[in-house]
Each structure stands twice: as C-alpha cells, then as structure tokens.
Amino acid sequence: MSSNPPVPTTLETTGRNRTAGPQVYDLYADLFSTKSHSPPRVDTNGEQAPVQNHVAPAPPPRSPATLAESGLTLGQMCDLLLKTLYIHGVLQGADLSRLTRLPFSIIDESIRTLRDQKLVEVASGDMVGRISYRFALTEVGRSRARDAFENCRYVGPAPVTLEQYIEHCRLQHVTGTPCSPAALRSAFKEFVIRPAMLDELGPAVCSGKSIFVYGPPGNGKTVIAKGLGQFLNMFGGEIYVPYAILAENSIITVFDPGIHQTTDDADLSQRGMASSSNEQSSYLVHDGPVDLRWRRIKRPVVITGGELTLDMLELQYSKTANFYNAPLHIKANGGVFLIDDFGRQIVRPKDLLNRWIVPLEERVDYLTLTTGRKFMLPFEQLIIFSTNLDPKDLVDDAFLRRIKHKIRIDPPTRELYTVIFQMVCRQREIPYDDTIIETLFHKYYEPGRTPRSSDPRDLLDMAQSICRFHDQPIILTEELIDECARRFFGEI
C-alpha cells in the first residue's frame, strides 16, 4: 500500500503563510489616522454638507438548491468529500456540510453514491437523520482518496464556477459608487489631507478609471489608497468573495485572510460554522439563502511595492498541490489596488505598464493555465500607480493617455505640517508645544530642507526611543527635538 500523502495545503493555511505578495497596511497609519480622535482639517469652509445616500449593495450569492445549481459535477463533489474525510477522519454529515460550505441536501447525493461504490461507510448515527450520521472511508475509499489527491490536493469549501464568479463580480463594481464632495470628505475625515486634493480625487472616483499619483516621498500617497478604500466601504457597501473558483476544471483559490477582512463571522458562528463541537447548531449550517462558499468582506485595499514582479500578476501554480492561487489584482476586485514605489520594481517599468494595457482599457484580464488554456476574469477595481520618481522617466505618452487622472502630491505647508504634528502628539499622548514647530522650521526646513508629511511621526518615534533609553518621561523640549532632528536629518 502506498504511503499516505502529505497533508494538503488548505486555503486558510495558504493565505496566512504567504512569504511574498502584497502588504495590506497603511504606510503612515500612525501618522494620518486615528480611531479615538478626528484630526483637525485644513478647511476654510466650516459648513457640513449633507452626505448623499449610499448605493444599494449587490445582493448576496444565492445558496444552491441542487448539485446542478452549485455548478459542480457528481464526480467533483465525490472527490472533494473523499479528500475531506481522508484529512479529517470520521465526520458527521453536518460536518461535511460545514467544511464544504454546501447544504447537506446537495452533498447527500454524493454520499449515497460513495456508499453504493463501497468507498464510504456509516460508522454510527442517531435519530436526527442522515445529517447526524457519522461517515468514514473504507480501505477502498482511502485508496480512491489518495488518487484524488494526486489530481488536486485542494481541500476546503467547494469552489464556485467561473461563470458564477464573473456574474457576481460585475454586480460589485467600483464604478457608479455615489461620489460627491460631502461623501469624500466623510470618508477622509480621519486623514489629514488638503480639501483641494479631494477635488482632484472626486472625478477619478466617479469615472472608475486609473489614477497616477506622483510627488516627493513621505507625503502620504498611500493615504489616498487607504481613504479611497474607506470611501468604497462607506458608500459602495460590502462585497462577497469566493473561497475558490473552478476554471477549466482547475481550482483557483481567491479568498485570502491576509487581504480580505471578513464581516460575516458572527453570522457564520450562529450557523455552526465556528466549531463542529456544537452539534445542535451545526445542523443549522444552511438555514439561510446565502451561498456560504462566499465570504462577506470589506472592500479590499491591496498595496504592493518594489517587490512586485510580473509573475505575481499571473496565476500562482503549486506543482505539489496541483491548484492555483489567484494573483494580487484579482484579489483586489471590488476595491483598491495600489502599486506603490512604481519604477523601483525589479521588472522594467515599460514591461510592467505593458502588462496593464488590456486590463485598463477593457476592464478584463486574461490568465493562462499551465495547460496553455486562457480564460477571462473581471478587472473591477480602482488601480493607483504611485511614484516619487519623475513620471517622464517612467512612462511614455501612450500609457499616460490610458491613465486619465494624474495627481501630484506636494510637500505639506507649514500649516498642514503643524496639524499633522499636533495629531501625532495627541495619538501618543505627548504634550504639544508650538516652540517645537518653530525650532524645526527655523533650523532645518527654512534653510533648505523640504518638510515631509511623515517627518512628525519619525521624529516623535526617535524622541520616544531616546527618552525610553534614558528612562525619562517624554517631554518635548527644544534640546530633545534638536537632537532627534540632527540624527534624523543627518547627512550621510
């Protein structure tokens, strides 16, 4: 008898153990946003305009009533159940339903088939019905499961079909989200940003087209992606993303816990999805109309920088597991995809730009399987190119024509710099003193150094480190901030 195969890589394990890929973070989170306080904004208009109504969210995917509605064949369902039983051992029918995210009425047909073929046996049961029966693999079933692993080692929620994914992705588009000055202001209220910047972002959001952001480093280009993601979540509603899709008989995992922030955990817990130990609740896994092969999430904000390569924009195929992981921009569908530090990637900017020509114009992308078969997926997101290099050195006129909106972010004025410094002090409970700003500008910025929006955070980080080293309470003095500035701004 052949030895047992290694434990297959499940979807959740794949998501958490990524060693390369996007970083879902705000580069200046401590600097530009706070949950406990709303920072003052540089705005001369004190009137609060009414925010327009939110757009009606797309309806959730409907739970399939039959195996045919699920999009899977009897053979595909049987293979998934065999692999699930092989990994988990003896399982109740309710547990199989919970693990595959399909109603028991659908998988019951497959279980009957496996029993008829002597691949599965009933280990025990009670009077509740077949959903309470405990099923186990026979020796023949274990051998058949190992054969199924050789074909594909994916074990987890049943995939949705490519057609189902495309249909629902189109319903969760980013274009058409209600956008007005008042709406953008409400989305960016936790960020320090010039009101004039919102006037440039608004038309870009309304068009749903790509945005090219450029300017000196450290001035909050990443904040734009963060704020736009907040805007889409406030006014575009939550969206649904499948655990996996089935394309050309191949499994492609899409849901990534490292990227997608779920909002349905409480609902799943009520349906017995959190733990199989509560048998009573696990019988109620599919008492609702929502297809549980999809997760409800906040609209994603995917940020990638200098580590981006062309390979990361293609299907990631595992030769040992025999299934695929979706590329970054597909995981960003329905949200924001920021390519930060554009021009600093290993790949040439021209090659990277050529890769985006079709998606930017057609709003679709074509991916290729290892078999050579191509298929189309929606490219439905706000994509932002961000750089601190001279755009003329990176892109040609043909590409700039395809990027409709170009926004320059300049260094902060003294007034804006002061607002940021005050906010960072407030976040860290450090007493603020106006003389600190006077010292910084008199000694460092006015002689020729350009201020950056990230400087307050970095300087106060250093001040906290110095005081902690000397076991002193942090009190901003001219001597302390001067020492921090000399170290931080020191020429190398």
Task: Give the model confidence (pLDDT) of 253-291 as tens digits.
Answer: 999 999 999 998 888 887 766 544 444 444 445 556 899
Q: Other CB atoms closer than 10 Å to residue 374's CB: what's the count?
A: 10
292 part of a folded domain: no
Overall number of domains in the chain: 3
Domain's final residue, options 126, 158, 190: 158
The Cα 446–Cα 429 span in angstroms is 28
As beta bridge partners, residue 253 has 244, 325
The answer, yes or no, to whether residue 409 has pLDDT greater than 80, is yes
Considering only CA atoms, which of 492, 485, 391 is closest in space to residue 440? Answer: 485
Contacts of residue 384, defined as CB under 8 A and 6 or more positions apart, other chains included, come to 210, 211, 212, 213, 224, 225, 228, 336, 337, 338, 339
CATH number at residue 128: 1.10.10.10
The answer, yes or no, to whether residue 240 has pLDDT greater than 90, is yes
Residues 195, 242, single domain; the answer is yes
For the entire predicted model, the pTM comes to 0.79
User: In the numeric block, which tokens belong to residue 223?
Assistant: 């904040």
Q: Domain of 99?
A: 67-158
Mean model confidence pLDDT for the chain: 82
* Higher-confidence position of 79 and 400: 79
Residue 52: strand, helix, or coil: coil
Residues 252, 401, single domain; the answer is yes
What would the mean pLDDT of 402-428 be, rounded to a whole number? 88
pLDDT of 272 reads 66
The Cα 95–Cα 87 span in angstroms is 13
The Cα 241–Cα 262 span in angstroms is 10
* Higher-confidence position of 159 and 397: 159
pLDDT of 126 reads 67
The Cα 475–Cα 467 span in angstroms is 9
- CA dist 38 → 32, 186, 187, 223, 420 (Å): 10, 11, 12, 15, 12
145 part of a folded domain: yes
Residues 227, 349, single domain; the answer is yes
Domain's final residue, options 347, 375, 408: 408
266 part of a folded domain: no
pLDDT per residue as tens digits for the range 10-36: 433 333 333 334 333 333 333 334 343
H or E, element range at 439: helix 434-440
Residues 351, 430, single domain; the answer is no
CATH number at residue 211: 3.40.50.300
